[in-house]
Structure 1
Amino acid sequence: MKNIVVYDSLTGNTKKLAEAIAKNLNCELKCVGDCEGESFENYKQIIFGFYIDKGFMGVDAERFTQKIRGKKVGIFYTLGGDPKSDRASALKERIKEFFKANDNEIVKVFYCQGAISDIQLEAARKRALAEGSPITPQREVFWKEGKKHPNDKDVQEAVAAFKDFK
C-alpha cells in the first residue's frame, strides 16, 4: 500500500503546498479534478489539501471526501482569514469531525493563510459591508499581507508537518 497527496486549489495556494509535500514524501500527487471515478482502496494513507471557501471546504473538496473512508488521513488547507484566530481553531475542529464521521483516523492537520484573489477580496468586502462589519485599516493591511502567502516559511512548515507521514 502506498500514500498519495490529493488537493483542490482555486488560486494555486493549496497546489503550491501539495506539490512540496508530495515531492518531499516522494509520493503520488493528484488534483481532485483528476480523481473522477477513482478508488482509493489501495492507498494506506491520504494527505488531502483544500482551500476554505465561505467558512468550509469548497464543494469539489467536500464531494471528494466521500471517497476517503477508513483511512489514515493528513489534512492541510489554506484560508484567507487569520490562521491564529479562534475562528480558525474552531474550523480545524469542525474539519476533523467531518473526516472522523467517515471512520478516518486524523494523523495530522496543517493550515496556513493563503492569498485571496481580487475577486474573492471584493466579495469579502461586500459581505462585510452587508453584515455591518467595518473594513478597518487593520483589515486592509491583513488582506494586503495575505497576498504574500503561502510564503516559503509556510511551505517549509507544511512539508515539516508531514515529513513522518510514511
Structure 2
Amino acid sequence: MQKTRPLIVISSRTGNTMILGHAIADALPGALLVKPSELPEDLSPFNPVLLGYWRDLEEAPVDMRAIASRFEGKTIGCFATMGSDVNDPDSQAWMKRTAEGLAAAGKNNTLAQTFICRGRIDPAQFEKMTKMMGGVVSPERAEKRRESETHPDRLDLAKGAEIFRSVFGVNF
C-alpha cells in the first residue's frame, strides 16, 4: 500500500488563511502546502487534503472552487477565515455549505472536519461593501471590523492546528 501525505491547499487574500494554514501544516509532519495555482498534477500521493479559504461573500473563492473537482477518493478537511463572528448561525451555515460543496465537487470524497476562525477584513473589500451600502459605516460594522483586526490570533492558530492534528495526525 502506497504511503500518503497531507496536502494543504490555501487561497488567501489578506494573509489570514495562509497564516492559519502554516500553523496547521506544522501540526501535520510531511504536509505539502500549496496555493491553488501550484496544485500538483499527480494527486495520488496525497491524503488527506485540507482546503483553506476565505469568505468570498456567500461562496468559497473562485480559485478554490476551480480545483475542487480534481480530488477523487480523498478525505477532505476545510478551514476558513472571515471578518465576522464565526459563532453566528449564518457563519456556521456558510462554512458547512461551502465545505460540503467543495468535497462534493470531486468524486467519492469524504468531508471529515471543518474549522473557521475570525480574520482581518481586507480594506479594499470593506470599502467596496461600504459603497454598496450607501457609503455609511454603522457602529455595528465598525465594531465588527475592530474585533476582526487582531485575528487570527495565537488561540485561533492553536485551535485550528489541534483540530486537524487530532483528526489527521495519526491517520496517514
TM-score by length of 2: 0.86
The CA deviation at 1:155 is: 0.6
Query: 1:110 — aligned with what?
Result: 115
Counterpart among 113, 116, 124 of residue 119 in structure 1 = 124
Q: Please list, as runs of the form range in 1=range in 2, the aligned pairs for 1:76-91 lying within 5 A after superposition.
A: 76-91=79-94
Report which stretch shifted further, 13-22 or 76-85: 76-85
Counterpart among 8, 13, 16 of residue 13 in structure 1 = 16
Using the alignment, how far apart are the partners of 1:24 and 1:163 within structure 2? 6
**CA distances 1:123-160 after superposition (whole Å, capped 9, x unpaired):** 12122338xxx743122111112111111111111101
TM-score by length of 1: 0.89
Query: 1:32 — aligned with what?
Result: 36
The CA deviation at 1:101 is: 4.7
Counterpart among 62, 66, 87 of residue 65 in structure 2 = 62
The CA deviation at 1:20 is: 0.9
Q: How many residues align?
A: 162
The CA deviation at 1:46 is: 0.6
Using the alignment, how far apart are the partners of 1:114 and 1:124 within structure 2? 17
Structure 1: gaps (5+ residues): none
Kept in 1: contact 2:11–2:17 (CA 8 A): yes
Kept in 1: contact 2:80–2:95 (CA 8 A): no
Query: 1:161 — aligned with what?
Result: 163
Kept in 1: contact 2:83–2:144 (CA 8 A): no
Structure 2: gaps (5+ residues): none
**CA distances 1:44-87 after superposition (whole Å, capped 9, x unpaired):** 21111011112211111110112122210111011122211121
- Secondary structure at the counterpart of residue 162 of structure 1: helix
Kept in 2: contact 1:13–1:114 (CA 8 A): yes
Query: 1:148 — aligned with what?
Result: 150
Query: 1:139 — aligned with what?
Result: 141
Query: 1:44 — aligned with what?
Result: 47
Report which stretch shifted further, 10-19 or 84-93: 84-93
Q: Percent identity?
A: 27
